[in-house]
Amino acid sequence: MARRPHQNAAVRASKPYHKIWSATAGTLLLAGEALLAGGPTPPTDLNLQPVVSGLSNPVGLTHAGDGSGRLFIIEQDGVIRIYDPGTDALLPTPFLDITTLVDSSQNEQGLLGLAFDPNYGSNGYFFVYYTMDPGPGLDRTRVVRYSVSAGDANVADDTSAHTIIEIEQDSWNHNGGDLHFSPADGYLYVGMGDGGGTGDPNNRAQTSNQLLGKMLRIDPHEGAGGAPECGVGVQNYTIPASNPFVDGAGGYCDEIWQVGLRNPWRWSFDRATGDLIIGDVGQFEWEEINFAFALDGGGENFGWRCYEGDGHPYNTAGCAPVGTYDPPVMEYSSGGGSGQCSVVGGYRYRGPSTNLYDFYVFADYCSGQIWYAEGAGPATWQHTVWGTAPSLVSAFGEDEEGHLYVVLINSGSVLRLDLSDVFSDGFESGDTTLWN
C-alpha cells in the first residue's frame, strides 16, 4: 500500500524512531545506549496485593473519573462490575449486564472494552466495545454508548443503548477491543485488530479502505467534522477534520488514525502527556510496543503484515522497504519455547509513588511476566523484568489517583501494585510464606 505522507512529516523525520529493545531476561539496554541517569529508581520487588476475587473472566478495569474512586471491571461474557474501595466490596448488582447481546463464544470475543466520557460527571455517558453475532453473515464489532441510570449511580440504564459504529470481522480472533478518550484532544480512539485468521490472510491491516488492523479516531458526540465513511450498520459519529487520512469518499477510510496493527489488545494514553502506547500482539514470534507522541498528527504505519517487531519480515509481497514503516520502541520474542505468547499493553505510571513515576508497566499474557520500562519518547528506553503474576494477565488498569492494577483472567481476580512499602523479604505483602 502506498502510504500517504505523514501529516507532520517534518516533526516525524526529526525523531529517532528506529530505537528498540529486545526483552529476554533481566535488565537490557538499547544497543549503543547508556542507562538513563538521574531518573527515579523503581523498587526491586513486585508486590501485588489482592483487591477483588470471585470475578468471571475479567478482561479490563478502569475508573469513571467522577471522584467516586470506584473501579469498573469488565467481565468477558458481557457484565461490568463495580468494586467500591470505600466498603472494600464488589457490589452484588452489576453496573451493566448485556450478556444477551454479546457473542463471547470464542476466547477472543466478548465484552472487551470500556471508556467513560470525559464529561461523565455531567452527562453520564460511557462507551463499550463488544463482539456480536448479527445472524447471517460475518460477526461484528460494535461500539455502543450507554448512560448511567437517573436514580442509582451504581447501575446503568440498559435501555439507553446508542450504537456508535459497527465493523464486520473476518473471523473470531484478532478483535482488538480497547478504546479510550485521548486526554490531549478528547476524541475517542478505537483499537481494531486485523480481522483474524493466521497472518492477516486478507491483508486488512495494509488496506486503505478497511478499518481492520487500524487505530481509529472518531467524535462520538457528533460535533463538527466529516460524515462517517467506512463501517456497516448504524453510524453515529463524526470524523475530526485533523485525522491524517481525511480525503472524503473513496481512498482511505477517514476514520483511520494509524495503520498496520495486528491485534492491539491492550493500549493506553499517558494521562500526563497524552502520548499513545500500544501493545500489539504478534504472530507466534515477536511481540511489540508501539509509541506515538500526543497530537503528532497520526498517520503512522506500524508495518503488519509486512513486518512484525523490529523489521522482522513476515509477508512482504507488495510492501515497501522496511525503513518506510514505523518500528516499535520495544519488542520481545514469543517463539522458540520462550513461554511467552501475547503482549498485554499497560500504562505509564502516574500515581503517587515517586519510585515508579514515569515508568511504563506491561506484561505477557501466558507467562505472566511483568516488565517496567522507561523512555523519553521513542528514542531511549530501558526496561527490567520486574516479576511474575500468579496467573494469566489479561489487562492492566488505573484508578483515579493513578495506582495500577493487574487483571488475572483465569483466577478471576484483580491485584494492585503496592508501592508503599516494598522490601526483598516480602514482609509487607501479608503473605507469611514470603517472610524470611
pLDDT digits (tens, 9 = 90+) for 378-387: 665 777 899 9
Does residue 4 belong to any structural domain of this protein?
no
* pLDDT tens per residue across span 311-350: 999 999 999 999 999 999 999 999 888 899 999 999 999 9
Residue 71 has pLDDT above 50, yes or no: yes
Residue 18 has pLDDT above 60, yes or no: no
pLDDT category of residue 224 using cuts at 50, 70 and 90: confident
Does residue 393 belong to any structural domain of this protein?
yes
Sequence letter at residue 260: G
Confidence (pLDDT) at 41:
67
Confidence (pLDDT) at 27:
33
Highest mean pLDDT: which range of 72-76, 168-172, 369-373: 72-76
State the average pLDDT over residues 103-107: 94
Total residues found in the chain within this entry? 436
Quote the CA–CA distance of 315 and 76 in Å, as a whole number: 32
Does residue 241 belong to any structural domain of this protein?
yes
How many alpha carbons fall within 13 Å on the CB side of residue 381? Answer: 28
Does residue 2 belong to any structural domain of this protein?
no
Higher per-residue confidence, 379 vs 181: 181
Does residue 21 belong to any structural domain of this protein?
yes
Residue 364 gets the label, from left (phi > 0), alpha (psi -120 to 50) or beta, of beta
323-337: buried (b, 16+ CB within 10 Å) or exposed (e) per residue?
eebbbbbbbbbbeee
Confidence (pLDDT) at 295:
78
Quote the CA–CA distance of 254 and 208 in Å, as a whole number: 9
Quote the CA–CA distance of 93 and 81 in Å, as a whole number: 8
Per the confidence metrics, is the pTM higher than 0.95? no
Confidence (pLDDT) at 374:
86
Domain with residue 406: its CATH number is 2.120.10.30
State the average pLDDT over residues 211-232: 93
Does residue 3 belong to any structural domain of this protein?
no
C-alpha closest to that of 371 among 73, 21, 50, 40: 21
pLDDT category of residue 137 using cuts at 50, 70 and 90: confident
Confidence (pLDDT) at 30:
30
Query: Per mean pLDDT, which range of 109-123, 129-143, 349-363, 371-385 is the poorest?
Result: 371-385
Which residues constitute the domain of residue 293?
9-434
Q: Which grid coordinates belong to 415?
A: 491485584
Confirm if 103 and 110 have CB atoms less than 8 A apart.
yes
Confidence (pLDDT) at 223:
83
Does residue 270 belong to any structural domain of this protein?
yes
Confirm if 168 and 175 have CB atoms less than 8 A apart.
no
Q: Which grid coordinates belong to 209?
A: 479502505
State the average pLDDT over residues 80-103: 97
Query: Per mean pLDDT, which range of 18-32, 72-86, 361-375, 379-393 is the poorest?
Result: 18-32
Using H for helix, E for strand and C for coil, what is the string for 247-287?
CCCCCCCCCEEEECCCCCCEEEECCCCCCEEEEECCCCCEE
Quote the CA–CA distance of 101 and 111 in Å, as a whole number: 9
Does residue 1 belong to any structural domain of this protein?
no
Count structural domains, the chain. Answer: 1
Higher per-residue confidence, 337 vs 303: 303
State the average pLDDT over residues 91-97: 98
Quote the CA–CA distance of 141 and 102 in Å, as a whole number: 10
Residue 36 has pLDDT above 70, yes or no: no
Confidence (pLDDT) at 352:
93
Confidence (pLDDT) at 421:
47
